[in-house]
Amino acid sequence: TALAVVLTMAATAQTTEIPDTSYQLPPLLITQSGKAIHTAAGWEKHRPEVLALFEKYVYGKTPAKKIPVRFVTLSVNTTALNGAATRKQVRAYFSKDEKYFMDMLLYLPNNTGKPAPLFLGLNFGGNQTINADTGILISKRWVRYEEGAAYKDHHATEASRGVQAGRWPVEEIINRGYGLATIYYGDLQPDSSNSINAGIAPLFYKDGQTKPAPGEWGAIGVWAWGLGRAMDYLETDPAVDAKRVAVIGHSRLGKTALWAGAQDKRFALVISNNSGEGGAAITRRKYGETITKINTAFPHWFCDNYKAYNDREDELPVDFHELVALIAPRPVYVASASQDLWSDPTGEYLSAWHAGEVYKLYNLTGLPGAVPPTVNTPVGSGSIGYHIREGGHDIQLYDWQQYLDFADRFFK
């Protein structure tokens, strides 16, 4: 029996057109063999089936092969941010020849007397973009950005220091008692089409393989893998409380945070900021960005099987409320922005709301109802949080303040 979910949405302030809200979602609480799920144990049994569908049809499967990773601390500064934090830079080598590596930048609060809970997220422009701190190594990698003083010929200049500091309120995070760890996503794979062999994926190829199979990972999978390796490091650092790590990401990196959190239960909390299509948003709404649009503009993000669902959203074996549900019973936060219609704020909300069905099995509370809240009014007093911020596609101090408050409820 398919569960028909037909929603009548109240008109929301941020929508400029009436969204199509009649669609049939794959039911959350029915197994592949058609049995209804009534308990948390039942969901746990079904969960691998859902994960496998996302692997096969959406993000592609992450290779099972484990490669040895060597962590080398490049620098430690105990008086960073005017003495409030310790800054560490740690390189993770993925190959003996040291050709493959990623650089992690960490800020950890000083003088708290205990291992710090921490936010971990990838960044778009190189670690040096997150703060003007001149001790941060400038990434030598290719970046998408080309114009302006900060980037020349797709490579960062000295002027790129701190250019994305507005997205990374490090001082606020440290003041609240949290650490922050970040990695440039281009260390794992450049964000451009036909880039798979310029990233770490070839380390996993079988003899003679030249690209991932249609059900194997794309860039989002590769980036998520990097977050997993960062977690491996965090588990070894005594200054970090690895049981209290929140994985966070904005936009394409919000999709990545959700996928990392779905695959790896070590992430105790997951935050999706404006992740949109292929992230939190319900794809069957066909509102804003669609599967065709995303696969055309970014053919390297998802696995090749996903392309079969161009203009066939209703046939996709999953929808993205199931991605959010894969985080259960761990807390999850989804956020939208009022002018970011491309990411379908209503679809992001609905996905988080639907996922509550699974949280309920654990006696946990999700979002209050099918109608999204008004701008700048965070909702969700239980394990699922949501807000829609006034403004455009971005991650800002307001968003972080909500994430810090949400994290406090579980980590403090």
Residues that bind ligand GTR (CB under 6 A): 251-252, 276-277, 289, 294, 297
CB 179 within 8 A of CB 42: no
CB 291 within 8 A of CB 310: yes
Q: Residue by residue, what is the 3-state secondary structure of 362-389?
A: CCCCCCCCCCCCCCCCCECCCCEEEEEE
CB 179 within 8 A of CB 241: no
State which residue, 133 or 289, has the beta carbon closest to ligand GTR: 289
Q: Which amino acid is at 66?
A: K
For residue 12, the SS3 value is coil
In angstroms, what is the minimal distance from the CB of 410 to ligand GTR? 27
For residue 338, the SS3 value is coil
CB 190 within 8 A of CB 150: no
Buried b (16+ CB within 10 A) or exposed e, 379-408: bbebbbbbbbbeeebbbbebbbebbbebbe
Q: How many CB atoms lie within 10 A of CB 169?
A: 22
In angstroms, what is the minimal distance from the CB of 275 to ligand GTR? 7
How many angstroms separate the CA atoms of 12 and 231, rounded?
Answer: 39
Nearest to 161 by CA among 126, 128, 120: 128
State which residue, 245 or 291, has the beta carbon closest to ligand GTR: 291
In angstroms, what is the minimal distance from the CB of 293 to ligand GTR? 7
State which residue, 200 or 294, has the beta carbon closest to ligand GTR: 294
State which residue, 176 or 393, has the beta carbon closest to ligand GTR: 393
In angstroms, what is the minimal distance from the CB of 349 to ligand GTR? 17
In angstroms, what is the minimal distance from the CB of 334 to ligand GTR? 15
For residue 198, the SS3 value is helix
State which residue, 31 or 339, has the beta carbon closest to ligand GTR: 339
379: alpha, beta or left? (left if phi > 0; alpha if psi -120 to 50): beta
Residue with the shortest CB distance to ligand GTR: 251
**Paired tokens of 217:** 């990972």
The answer to whether residue 393 is catalytic is: yes
State which residue, 7 or 122, has the beta carbon closest to ligand GTR: 122
Marked catalytic residue, from 139, 160, 251, 338: 251
State which residue, 241 or 340, has the beta carbon closest to ligand GTR: 340
In angstroms, what is the minimal distance from the CB of 273 to ligand GTR? 10
In angstroms, what is the minimal distance from the CB of 188 to ligand GTR? 15
DSSP character at residue 23: -
**Paired tokens of 233:** 């490091």
CB 142 within 8 A of CB 183: no
The answer to whether residue 251 is catalytic is: yes
How many angstroms separate the CA atoms of 99 and 405, rounded?
Answer: 40
**Paired tokens of 108:** 């950890």
- The residues annotated with a catalytic role in the active site are 251, 393
